[in-house]
C-alpha cells in the first residue's frame, strides 16, 4: 500500500511505547448472567494485541466493557492512566477509543457517504476523507450506493473507515474477517498493518488464528470469561501445541 499523505495527528507515533490500556480483575454481567470473571491484560502503545478464544469465551464482552457498553461491570479499566470503569461510552470515545462491532452496523437507509459521515468527530486527529479513500479506494467508487448493498468486505471497510474519521487512536476491532473471502481477509490484514505503521494501537478479537498470526504482536487466550494464557508473536512456535488445545487450530 502507498503511505498515507499525512500521518494522523492523534495517533501515538512510537512503534511500541508504554502501556496505554490496563485491564485488571474486570467482571461483567448481562442482566443476571455473569460473563467476565476477572479479566486481566494490558496493551502497549503502537501494538496489535489479539484476544483469541472459542465462541462464547467473553472476547466481545471484554471489548464492550472497555467501551462502557455493558451496564454492570466491576474491576479496573485504565486508558492512558484514566479510570474508565464508571465512565460513559461517549466520554470514552472522546479519549480516543473506538469500537468496530462484528455486525458492522451499516445503515440500510443511508448511502456509503452518509454512513461514513454519520459518526461525529469527537477528537482531533481523525483521518480525512482523502486519507480514508487512499486506504479503501473501493469506498470512493461506491459513495452513492446503499450501505447494505456493498459486499461483505466493502461493508467491513466502511465500518473501519467510520471510526478512523472520529479521531480515535485506539481501535477495537471485533472479528473483522468474519465471513469474508480470503482475498478480502488479506486486504484487511494489510490495512491493520498499515494502521499500525501510522501509529494506531489495535485490540483485535479473532477466531481466525491464521489471520491473527499475520498481524498481532501479542496474544491473550480467553476462556470462560478469564484470560488463561498469553504470549508474544515471537513465542508462537513454542506455544502451538497449547493453541491446538485452546482453539482447535
Q: Output the pLDDT for position 249.
A: 56
Q: Output the pLDDT for position 1.
A: 33
Q: Output the pLDDT for position 2.
A: 33
Q: Both ends of the chain: CA-CA distance in Å?
A: 30
Q: In this structure, what are the phi and psi dihedrals at residue 91, rounded to the nearest 5 degrees?
A: -65, -40
DSSP 100-143: E-TT----TTSBHHHHHH-S---STTPPPHHHHHHH-HHHHHTT
Domains of the chain, residue spans: 19-247
Q: Tens digits of per-residue pLDDT, 162-190?
A: 999 999 999 999 999 998 899 999 999 99
* Residue bearing the bigger pLDDT, 41 or 7: 41
- Whether the CB-CB separation of 233 and 217 falls below 8 Å is answered with yes
Give the chain's largest Cα–Cα span.
49
**Confidence check: pLDDT of 104 > 60:** yes
Torsion of CA 198, 200, 201, 204, to 10 degrees: -90
**Angle, CA of 85, 100 and 118, to the nearest 5°:** 105
The cell for 168 is 480515535
The cell for 2 is 502507498
Q: Output the pLDDT for position 120.
A: 87
Residue position matching grid coordinates 488479506: 186
- CA dist 229 and 233 (Å) reads 13
Mean pLDDT of 4-31: 69
The cell for 26 is 474486570
Q: Tens digits of per-residue pLDDT, 207-227?
A: 888 899 999 999 999 999 999
- Whether the CB-CB separation of 181 and 110 falls below 8 Å is answered with no
Torsion of CA 177, 181, 183, 188, to 10 degrees: -20
The cell for 44 is 502497549
Beta partners for 171?
Answer: 98, 202
Q: What is the pTM of this model?
A: 0.89
Q: Output the pLDDT for position 125.
A: 84
The cell for 188 is 484487511
Q: Tens digits of per-residue pLDDT, 48-92?
A: 999 999 999 999 999 999 999 998 999 999 999 999 999 999 999
Superfamily of domain 19-247: P-loop containing nucleotide triphosphate hydrolases (3.40.50.300)
Mean pLDDT of the chain: 89
Q: Tens digits of per-residue pLDDT, 6-18?
A: 333 333 333 457 9
Mean pLDDT of 115-134: 90
**Angle, CA of 94, 80 and 77, to the nearest 5°:** 85
* E-strand stretches of 31-124: 33-44, 48-52, 72-79, 82-83, 97-100
Amino acid at each position: 500500500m502507498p503511505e498515507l499523505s499525512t500521518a494522523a495527528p492523534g495517533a501515538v507515533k512510537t512503534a511500541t511505547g508504554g502501556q496505554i490500556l490496563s485491564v485488571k480483575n474486570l467482571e461483567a454481567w448481562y442482566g443476571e448472567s455473569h460473563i467476565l470473571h476477572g479479566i486481566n491484560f494490558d496493551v502497549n502503545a503502537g501494538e496489535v494485541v489479539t484476544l483469541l478464544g472459542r465462541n462464547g469465551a467473553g472476547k466481545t464482552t471484554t471489548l464492550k466493557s472497555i467501551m462502557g457498553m455493558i451496564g454492570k461491570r466491576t474491576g479496573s479499566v485504565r486508558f492512558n492512566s484514566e479510570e474508565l470503569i464508571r465512565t460513559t461510552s461517549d466520554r470514552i470515545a472522546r479519549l480516543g477509543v473506538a469500537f468496530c462491532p462484528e455486525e458492522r452496523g451499516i445503515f440500510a437507509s443511508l448511502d456509503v457517504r452518509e454512513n461514513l459521515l454519520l459518526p461525529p468527530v469527537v477528537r482531533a486527529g481523525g483521518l480525512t476523507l482523502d486519507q480514508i479513500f487512499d486506504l479503501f479506494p473501493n469506498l470512493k467508487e461506491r459513495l452513492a450506493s446503499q450501505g447494505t448493498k456493498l459486499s461483505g468486505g466493502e461493508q467491513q471497510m466502511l465500518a473501519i473507515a467510520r471510526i478512523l474519521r472520529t479521531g480515535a487512536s485506539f481501535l477495537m476491532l471485533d472479528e473483522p474477517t468474519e465471513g469474508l473471502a480470503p482475498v478480502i481477509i488479506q486486504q484487511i490484514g494489510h490495512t491493520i498493518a498499515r494502521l499500525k505503521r501510522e501509529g494506531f494501537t489495535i485490540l483485535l478479537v479473532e477466531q481466525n488464528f491464521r489471520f491473527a498470526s499475520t498481524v498481532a504482536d501479542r496474544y491473550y487466550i480467553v476462556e470462560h470469561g478469564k484470560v488463561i494464557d498469553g504470549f508474544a508473536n515471537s513465542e508462537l512456535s513454542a506455544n502451538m501445541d497449547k493453541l491446538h488445545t485452546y482453539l482447535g487450530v
